[in-house]
Every structure is written in C-alpha cells, then in structure tokens.
Chains A and B, each alone.
Chain A
Amino acid sequence: MAQERTDEELLAAYQQGDPGAFEALLRRHRAPLFTFLLRMLGERERAEDLAQETFLRIVKGAPAWEHRARFQTWLFTIARNLCVDQSRRDRFRRADSLDAQGPGDEPAMVDSVPGREIDPGRGAESARLRPVLQRALLSLPAEQREVFVLREQAGVPFREIAEIQCVNENTVKSRMRYALEGLRKALAAAGISEETAAEEPDPGVRLGRA
C-alpha cells in the first residue's frame, strides 16, 4: 500500500507517528540518493556517510516539515549542501597539507581501487565505461556535475534543480549544456566514442516514484 502513496503522503503519515511510512520513503530513495552522492563524490564510503547523514537530517526535520516543495527536492537539497560543505572542507585541508599536490580540486578517482566498481551483474561494456565516465564527471565543475547527475541519474526536472541550487532555470540549463559539452570532450580525450556505447538514452528517466 505504502508503495502507492506519494512521498509527501508518506512523510505526512510519518509526522502522524507511523514509522513504517518513513521506512517506505527510505526504501524508495536510498539507492537514488546514494547513487547521486557516489557520482558526485566518486567515493563509496564518503557517499554512504553523506547519504546517511542526509536521511538523519530528514528525520530530524520531519516533525516541522511543510508541504511547500516536493520531498525529493528537500532530500537532494540537503545532500547537495552536504556535498558543498564537504568539498570546502577538503579544499581547506588540501591547502593546509604540506605535501598537497596535483591540480587543486580534483578528487581521488573512483577506480583507484581496482575492481571495486565492477559489478558482475552488469554488462562488461558498462563496467569498463564507468570508471572512465566517473573520471570525466569529476573533471566537471561541481555545479555542472550536480546538474548533470541530478537530471540524468536522479531524474530531477530542471525546474526542481533550479530550486535545489537556488538559481534560475536558465542557469541550470546552461550549466547542463556546459556539462554535456565538457563530458563529450573528456570522453573523447579518453578515447571513448560513439561506437563503444550501445545503450539508448532513456528519455525522462524518473526516480522510482509511484
């Protein structure tokens, strides 16, 4: 039954004291949120920590939540702010470190632990592509990466991304164009071309919402 309720209905039910409703929300959003953070940060452990903190903040804020924006917008806003915060900390620390090196902002690559990203359940092609893609993603400026991942992976519409980033929709779309262009270049530089990709884009992928 809970599956058919909207996020907002579930949250309202949780406000009324039904923990099961929250469990349903968590089940629905845990993978998309975790994946979003993973693509943003390129690091599993960090993504897990931030995803957990995001949900804890949701729990904390739930009693006073009002239905002004969609639950999904709230969720990704929190996650996104945690990312911003995190990257500032990292930047600060890097500046602090005596042996800091390399191009300032580039985070560690997800495939620095070989085989970690390989999932036998998925196509070998995709598994081969993913580290390259992740690297390309991490080479984008954070705002662009955020727009791209929110739209492409989490299925958040441009209008809501604008709310999440506190900018107007045109800015979001221009970030998206830059992101696509940046990705194209980065992938081309890594020798990834049209022939290697077999999958069709799935227009308008959405979160697993009812």
Chain B
Amino acid sequence: MNDIKTFLISPHVLAQEVGEEIVLLDLNSDTYFGLDATGSRIWRLVKEGKDLDEICEALFNEYDASREDLERDTALLTQELIACGLLRQA
C-alpha cells in the first residue's frame, strides 16, 4: 500500500465542501468522514488528478512545514483513505 502514488476517488463516494472542511459520504456503507483543512486540500489535489509527488510538492509550496513531514502526513492520509475505500489506486 505504501507504494501507491496515483489515486482515483471511489465512485460510491460523494464529497461536499462546507466551511473549510470536506465531508465525504460513502454511499455503500452510509458512513460519513470529515477532512480538516489540510486533508481537504489533499482531497482537492487528488480530484485534480495529482499523484503523490505532485501533491507533496503543492503542499510544500503552500504550508510552512518540512518536505519530510508533508510527505509522511500525506502518505498516511492517502493510505487511510484507501483503507476506508474512499480512494483507490489509479
């Protein structure tokens, strides 16, 4: 799973931006997930078709954080989204 670098949003997932957050609804399980502001930014980059390296590059240009931290956090979030069935490998 750690090697996955390209992503697709699962077809059974709806996303809605509210305030600074994104709420995901998994229609298969009728389960809701919330993404904070950074998670929402990553989701939008995935939606734009960006791969893991491109997402990390974009975040590095936008956030005051080390590249190493951003790469670790992005990998963790995308792995979790894949584990929950919200994303899959492109």
Q: Do A and B come from one complex?
A: no
Taking Cβ atoms with an 8 Å cutoff, the residues of A that contact B are none
